[in-house]
Structure 1
Amino acid sequence: MKVLLTTDTFSPSINGVVISVTNLYKELTKRGHEVRILTLSNTGYSYKEGDVYYLRSFNARIYPGARGTLSYKNRFINEIIEWSPDIVHSHTEFCTLIHAKYIRKRLRIPHVHTYHTMYEDYLCYIFKGKLMSRRRAMNLIKKLIGSVDEIITPTQKARGSLIAYGVDKPISIIPTGIDLSRFAIGQQHIKKVNELKEKIGIKEDDKILIFLGRIGKEKNIDEIIINVNELYKELNIKMLIVGGGPYMDNLKKLVGELSLEKNIIFTGMVSPDEVPLYYSLANIFVTASTSETQGLTYIEALASGLPVVCRYDEAVEGLIVNGFNGYMYRNKDEFKKSIKSLLNQNDDAQELRIKAKNSVERFSLNVFASDIERLYLRHVR
């Protein structure tokens, strides 16, 4: 089968969509399918690199990192049409979705779409929150993806959101898979973790909480910092905030106001290869976000053997099971109780790590690719 994947964001950018598209490309290729990717370049020119077509683009200034393109009669589009894919699978709702619709129309092939982003949680970034209301966002998304043959969402939460928008296309729930093998621990891994501990200044008896991801207002990291402020005097804990984003200065200001500079450590952006090392530094993954469509970092943390303490969110129902691989909390007291409970389970720490790892086997790349492949075959005649 020939499969065209389209996305407005791709390597060298790092985010959940990029990870999903990259993993899908690799797994489908392993299964013998011919796969190509159409995306936007971070430069002013178009180019092809292996199976990836990069179309020239510009800074759209709609929200941080957004790219736009006027390249709709590009020679690469004609090359893709000549290649004649059997199905097109779009992963973002804007520029390359238009290309996907055009290619679908020209070739009369099926078009499926994965809805990765809950845009109602990100309206503050779109034109700085001044032009796009929730109702307008709902109508826009409905219009953009209303013509595809089938929609994929990673969770029931995202599916329910689209139904509330009035989208009446078939919607299948297929959780995004991750490469679980990346988080296996070997001797070389342990050596690098110990070197990282020394570099950051983590002592053997420190209890480490970690947040890893995009540093945005919607992630609600302020709440975690305020909760940690009430815990650090009772417990010997430190918190790592790993990642970068537009809300970083706000968080650093809050940490300064609370005099938590010795307890809250900002690492900044780290390379994908280092991500498993940072998970291995910690005892618990913490997050107060309710803007997730699936929570890939939750799965990565569990795959690393970390229990997760997160604010209750429909997107992670069934993923986080209270007392088994972590806790979902609804208020400050429940957060503090969850952290204390997990850190006091010294005798059961190894058992907890095993439970955490075992709880994410269903998110393997093999399961993910098999589910996507079956969906494709329903549409390709």
Structure 2
Amino acid sequence: MQNKNLKVLEIITLFSIGGATETVVSMAEGLMKLGMTVHIATGPNIVSEGSMYETAKKLNINVFTFKNLKRDINLIRDAWIIFQLYKFVKKGKYDIVHTHSSKAGVVGRIAAWLARTPVVLHTVHGLPFHRYQPKLKKKAFIFIEKFSSLFCDKLVAVTDTIISTMLSYKIGNKNKYAMIRSSFDIENYKPNGESDCKKTRHRFGIEENDIIFGKIARLSELKGHKYFLDAFRMVADKMPNAKLLIVGNGELEYELKRFVKENELEERIIFTGLITPEEIPSVIEIMDVVVHTSLLEGLARVLPQAIMMEKPVISFDLDGAHEIIKDGINGYLIKPLDTQQLGEKLVYLYCNPELIKLFGKKGKEILGDQFSSKRMVHQITELYFHLFNSKK
């Protein structure tokens, strides 16, 4: 079956640090080890959100940047980027074009179709339409997704929930979908020992007896930090040794820090700023519990990463979270936006440290190797060759 050295182009909107970009780089690395030629086409990174260029360079992955590939919609610029990508794909004679993220998914699929690429597929890392958008905007994005689905052979989703939601809006049909987890090198997500923990805790001014509730996400509205901070504010007095570790940066940094100051919680809430992907395992390791209050997420990468590090997770019961968090077994699923319930769960785990350890052990058993990058690469390889050979 696998009788050809495939030439593959992965296209993504931004090359900033983030789950989708990290997945694309991990995928490219794995496919290249199998003998494929893999290139990445991308728009530039957002400086404040970090960059994956250095990581790709270390892995000898060729990355081509198109400055006109940007997240926001501009019909003239978007028509131009379709033309630019069309010329690039045509000249490159790629066997497969695989797009990621919403904007690259639209312009990339159209460009690849125009270039008569044998196989075109798109991965949905998170839905481009959601419950918080104005109705007209949401309808427009649904129409765009329906239209774009006509230009590809396969739609890959990172959760079953995404597939069921897409189908409910009549985007493609069931046979057009495949579910492949957005994965990572699980070998990097193992406890490193007490000495490494002490170094990281010292770095952020965390005392030995502190219980750490952590959240890793860009500081933006849809990541829901304000619900986490508000829940902690209500119960902080019941947890004298508890601290919050807020990992990431973003446009809400000033507003969140102002909230902390107004509520006199500066000694209890730590903002780390931007952390590189390589540092994430050591940061998760010093957390006792990971909290996920995002309002919109396909399946946040940090959830399986935390579970593989044997950390329980408290999460809003939204999107794909329920697929890996089993309520009362390896964490808690709570009603979205319910800060009172969130606060209660924080206190309950704080008062029951033995449950934190039990949930952590159970979580790792439940996940197994679902999120192994080796498994993801194997599944993608099988899909690539199946689609390519079906075109002969």
- Give the alignment of 1:39-50 within 5 angstroms: 39-41=42-44, 50=60
Q: Distance in 2 between matches of 1:114 and 1:251?
A: 33
Match status 1:175 vs 2:185: no
User: CA shift at 1:214, angstroms?
Assistant: 1.2
Deviates more, 1:325-334 or 1:171-180: 325-334
Instruction: State the AA in 1 paired with 2:198.
Output: N
Give the equivalent residue in structure 1 for 2:3: none
Deviates more, 1:157-166 or 1:280-289: 157-166
Give the equivalent residue in structure 1 for 2:35: 32
Give the equivalent residue in structure 2 for 1:216: 220
Change (3 A) 1:158 1:96: closer
Q: Distance in 2 between matches of 1:94 and 1:212?
A: 24
Residue among 122, 127, 130 paired with 1:118: 127
- Count the aligned residue pairs: 365
Q: Distance in 1 between matches of 2:125 and 2:327?
A: 26
Instruction: State the AA in 2 paired with 1:266.
Output: F
Match status 1:57 vs 2:67: yes
Q: Distance in 2 between matches of 1:80 and 1:307?
A: 44
Residue 85 of structure 1 aligns to a residue whose secondary structure is coil
Deviates more, 1:88-97 or 1:242-251: 88-97
TM-score (norm 1): 0.85
Instruction: State the AA in 2 paired with 1:139.
Output: F
Q: Distance in 2 between matches of 1:32 and 1:54?
A: 20
Q: Distance in 1 between matches of 2:154 and 2:62?
A: 24
User: CA shift at 1:73, angstroms?
Assistant: 5.7
1:323-372 Cα offsets, whole Å, 9 max, x none, are: 22111112344323432333333345544332233333211112212222
Instruction: State the AA in 2 paired with 1:196.
Output: T
Unaligned runs of 5+ in 1: none
Unaligned runs of 5+ in 2: 1-5, 47-52
Q: Distance in 2 between matches of 1:139 and 1:253?
A: 40
Q: Distance in 1 between matches of 2:13 and 2:71?
A: 14
Change (3 A) 1:56 1:311: closer
Instruction: State the AA in 2 paired with 1:292.
Output: E
Conservation of the 8 A alpha-carbon contact between 1:93 and 1:144: no
User: CA shift at 1:244, angstroms?
Assistant: 0.9
- Cα RMSD after superposing both structures: 2.9
Q: Distance in 2 between matches of 1:68 and 1:281?
A: 44
Q: Distance in 1 between matches of 2:104 and 2:228?
A: 36
User: CA shift at 1:107, angstroms?
Assistant: 3.5
Change (3 A) 1:292 1:194: same
Give the equivalent residue in structure 1 for 2:168: 164
- Give the alignment of 1:303-314 within 5 angstroms: 303-314=308-319
Change (3 A) 1:77 1:106: closer
Conservation of the 8 A alpha-carbon contact between 1:120 and 1:134: yes
Change (3 A) 1:122 1:62: farther
Q: Distance in 1 between matches of 2:88 and 2:323?
A: 44
Give the equivalent residue in structure 1 for 2:255: 250
Give the equivalent residue in structure 1 for 2:268: 263
Q: Distance in 2 between matches of 1:340 and 1:98?
A: 47
Residue 323 of structure 1 aligns to a residue whose secondary structure is coil
Instruction: State the AA in 2 paired with 1:35.
Output: V
User: CA shift at 1:246, angstroms?
Assistant: 1.6
Give the equivalent residue in structure 1 for 2:388: 380
Instruction: State the AA in 2 paired with 1:160.
Output: S
Q: Distance in 1 between matches of 2:154 and 2:246?
A: 37
Q: Distance in 1 between matches of 2:267 and 2:124?
A: 40
User: CA shift at 1:18, angstroms?
Assistant: 0.3
Residue among 234, 243, 246 paired with 1:238: 243
Residue 378 of structure 2 aligns to a residue whose secondary structure is helix
Residue 294 of structure 2 aligns to a residue whose secondary structure is coil
User: CA shift at 1:322, angstroms?
Assistant: 1.8
- Give the alignment of 1:1-381 within 5 angstroms: 1-10=6-15, 13-41=16-44, 50-58=60-68, 62=72, 70=80, 80-95=89-104, 97-121=106-130, 133-169=137-173, 170-187=176-193, 190-235=194-239, 236-330=241-335, 331-347=338-354, 349-361=356-368, 362-381=370-389
Conservation of the 8 A alpha-carbon contact between 2:126 and 2:299: no
User: CA shift at 1:133, angstroms?
Assistant: 1.9
TM-score (norm 2): 0.83
Residue 37 of structure 1 aligns to a residue whose secondary structure is strand
Residue 328 of structure 1 aligns to a residue whose secondary structure is strand
User: CA shift at 1:54, angstroms?
Assistant: 1.9
Conservation of the 8 A alpha-carbon contact between 2:105 and 2:122: no
1:195-224 Cα offsets, whole Å, 9 max, x none, are: 232232211111110000111111111111
Q: Distance in 1 between matches of 2:254 and 2:366?
A: 35
Conservation of the 8 A alpha-carbon contact between 1:139 and 1:165: no
